[in-house]
Amino acid sequence: MADGGNCLDVRGLTVISAGSHLWPNPSNLCVIKDDKGFSMIDVGCGGPAGYDHLHAGLTRLGLALDDLHTVVLSHAHPDHMGAMKYVLEAVHPKVFIHSHDVEAALDISLLHESFDIPLAKEKFAPLGTFQDFDLFEFFDVFGCSMNPTENVEAVNEGDILRLGDFEFEVLLTPGHAPGHISLFERRIGVLLANDLVGVSPAWYTPNSGGLRGYLASLDTLESKKASVLIPSHGPVVKNPEAGIGRMREKLLKREAILCEALRAGPQTFMELLSALFRDAGLHFFPGCGILESHLIKLAKEGKIQRGEDLISLTHVSPKASTA
């Protein structure tokens, strides 16, 4: 792995790496040159910092946006595609995105649904707070604006995307976004797990695929037996199996925290929210969506019961002895 400033070479793939894995930094960007110009996997945040990240990385590689002919978007989120605004000012590449995220890439107002903002507003309605929350203002305030794209072509599970000398298998890996994709290049053993594996898990909500979707996606990623994993946020993972395992553990630890709280007695949604996230700044978003995803999984498995106000552990009566 060669390091050239903020540009890394990972088995022939060039990655413009973001300075930090923390929101609202843009995602890592992948650049693939060919004889017609170049392709990119994700383009980063809208807003000035996103433009600087994209521009500085391409300049370091001796490239200009005019020669960008293809963009693959891992999913329709602002830190991955907000910078399409700058791309489209310079050039009109073909844009691939999973069919489940096509509509949101064209009409960004649909993100309210996949981020489950209506659910969070409903939970906070009794408190009278966050009722005028605007997702796009939230992105703008953090300097990672969202912008739509054009020229979209849908990809689906199992499709092969040929970019330069590389062939990427498209894996539908929901949980964090309904059309979140990961890309596997079998010949070099590289897996682009995008937002699902990194320093910490991505957020998840019921409409983004939920916890059950996220866990199933981690199984899909593990089954590829990649030898190196490139995340969208954070450093390259040299042991993909361990990196994927760490994400699974962190997700299941949250479930353990919830079950522990419920063992003390029935709890309200808001009480469980406080048990799960000490930082109240996370309660509205992404807290509500994450908690609801856990409750859906636990209810589906018959481990909890949900009343009008209270959530409780399912009482398991001891089996009568047949001896």
Q: Are 40 and 65 in contact (CB under 8 A)?
A: no
Distance in Å, CB of 248 to Zn ion, minimum: 19
- Nearest CB to Zn ion, comparing residues 77 and 121: 77
Contact map string, positions 210 to 249, toward Zn ion, x by CB under 5 A: ----------------------x-----------------
Provide the 3-class DSSP secondary structure of residue 252: helix
Q: Which of residues 58-77 bind Zn ion (CB under 5 A)?
A: 77
Give the Cα separation of 41 and 170 in Å (integer). 12
C-alpha 292: how far from chain center: 17
- Nearest CB to Zn ion, comparing residues 54 and 304: 54
195 interacts with Zn ion by CB under 5 A: yes
Provide the 3-class DSSP secondary structure of residue 267: strand
Give the Cα separation of 105 and 61 in Å (integer). 27
Distance in Å, CB of 41 to Zn ion, minimum: 12
The site for Zn ion, by CB under 5 A, has a size of 5
Helix residue ranges, H only, 17-74: 48-60
Contact map string, positions 72 to 111, toward Zn ion, x by CB under 5 A: -----x-x--------------------------------
Phi, psi (rounded to 5 degrees) for 293 = -60, -40
Residue 94 forms beta bridges with which residues?
70
**What's the chain's Rg over C-alpha atoms?**
21
Name the token pair of 40: 């990119």
Q: Which of residues 251-310 bind Zn ion (CB under 5 A)?
A: none
Give the Cα separation of 271 and 294 in Å (integer). 14
Distance in Å, CB of 253 to Zn ion, minimum: 21
Give the Cα separation of 153 and 99 in Å (integer). 8
Contact map string, positions 9 to 28, toward Zn ion, x by CB under 5 A: ------------------x-
Distance in Å, CB of 70 to Zn ion, minimum: 20
Distance in Å, CB of 238 to Zn ion, minimum: 21
- Nearest CB to Zn ion, comparing residues 39 and 194: 194
Q: Interface residues with Zn ion (CB under 5 A)?
A: 27, 77, 79, 195, 232
